[in-house]
Amino acid sequence: MEAGKTIAQKTGGNGPSLTREQFTQAFHDMLLIRRFEEKAGQLYGMGLIGGFCHLYIGQEAVVVGIQMALKDGDKIITSYRDHGQMLAAGMTARGVMAELTGRATGYSHGKGGSMHMFSREKNFYGGHGIVGAQVALGIGLAFANKYRGTDEVSIAYFGDGAANQGQVYESFNLAALHKLPCIFVIENNLYGMGTSIERASASHELWRNGEPWGIPGRRVDGMDIATVHEAAAEAVAHCRAGKGPYLLEMMTYRYRGHSMSDPAKYRKREEVDTVRKTRDPIDHVRQILLDAGVEDATLRSIENDVKAVVNDCAEFAQTSPEPDPAELYTDVLLEA
């Protein structure tokens, strides 16, 4: 296939198709998240990462597909399962891993850890440990965009476990009332901590949760990056046109437990294996590229490049200094 040509038959949607180059970049970006998270899991097991650590393994197509539909200036905010969003936004693997290991070279200078990293340069606003709290902050970012007269949008990610929080519905109301350019993204991985969505929510159609406020919604196959991108592009266009917020329910799946301390005994191993074998988002893109004529050697080269980046960031983190104890007293108060 010619470079730049779309692989339309593989997108599964009616919107913009992806080019071979875009699929190739998506393969790289998703693989970077996957390998980074696997390495983070290893370092956690070695005792080099403390506190909570929530891995994004299995959900990579959601954040990479959405990021491909954004432009510079668009704002991103999410929950504590945040490493994937950071890397997709362009934050460095070195800086993220250094923060995970509590080093001075990390994005929060070793004081934030897994759940509290930020980068104004990349318009990434956290990383938040309170369930659902980032949604209200997300509409604040959207309000700022509208107040300043830009066409920038805000993406507020949250999980199915947070979908029925009161502050989420209050955010829906304010966003609809003021027609704020906010895209609410529910990453429905089917389990809120250890409880199935079937047992936790009276509504199993979370994409309809914004209907009382007139917020359009859509359920999306979050394991198919082309479908994610197409839905995200539609939502972004809606917001940039001044039509108010949009809700996307991304149906996805996490392969690991809720956090590193979760043995995930609430689901069968066969369930996880079946998703890995039949719906893995990275394997899906790999097959699309092979079918489009990309050489297997090219994909192996990408894999080697990603491996090198991940090994480098792990080495950088482990050899970086810990914060000076005096740092405990910085970033606490802003002097008037």
Run of H or E including 120: none
The predicted model gives 12-16 an average pLDDT of 50
Whether 333 is covered by a domain: the verdict is no
Whether 127 is covered by a domain: the verdict is yes
Boundaries of domain holding 100:
18-310
pLDDT in tens, 249-276: 999 999 998 999 888 899 999 999 999 9
The two three-digit tokens of residue 168, written as one number: 């989420």
Helices (H), 77-224: 83-88, 93-100, 133-147, 166-177, 197-200
Whether 55 is covered by a domain: the verdict is yes
Backbone angles phi, psi at 15, to 5 degrees: -90, -155
| Residue 135 CB neighbours (<10 A) | 30
Q: Is the pLDDT reported for residue 315 higher than 70?
A: yes
Q: Which pLDDT score is estimated for 4?
A: 53
Please tell me the total count of domains within the chain.
1
The two three-digit tokens of residue 75, written as one number: 């704002």
Whether 267 is covered by a domain: the verdict is yes
Whether 329 is covered by a domain: the verdict is no
Bridge partner residues of 186 (DSSP)? 158, 249
Whether 246 is covered by a domain: the verdict is yes
Whether 2 is covered by a domain: the verdict is no
* Strand pairing category for 217-221 and 191-192: unpaired
Burial 23-43, CB ≥16 within 10 A → b, else e: bbebbbbbbbbbbbbebbbeb
pLDDT in tens, 166-220: 999 999 999 999 999 999 999 999 999 989 999 999 999 999 999 999 999 999 9
Q: Is the dihedral of CA 300, 304, 306, 310 positive or negative?
A: positive
Query: What pTM value is reported for the model?
Result: 0.93
pLDDT in tens, 150-173: 999 999 999 999 999 999 999 999
Whether 315 is covered by a domain: the verdict is no
pLDDT in tens, 22-43: 999 999 999 999 999 999 999 9
CATH number, domain of 108, equals 3.40.50.970
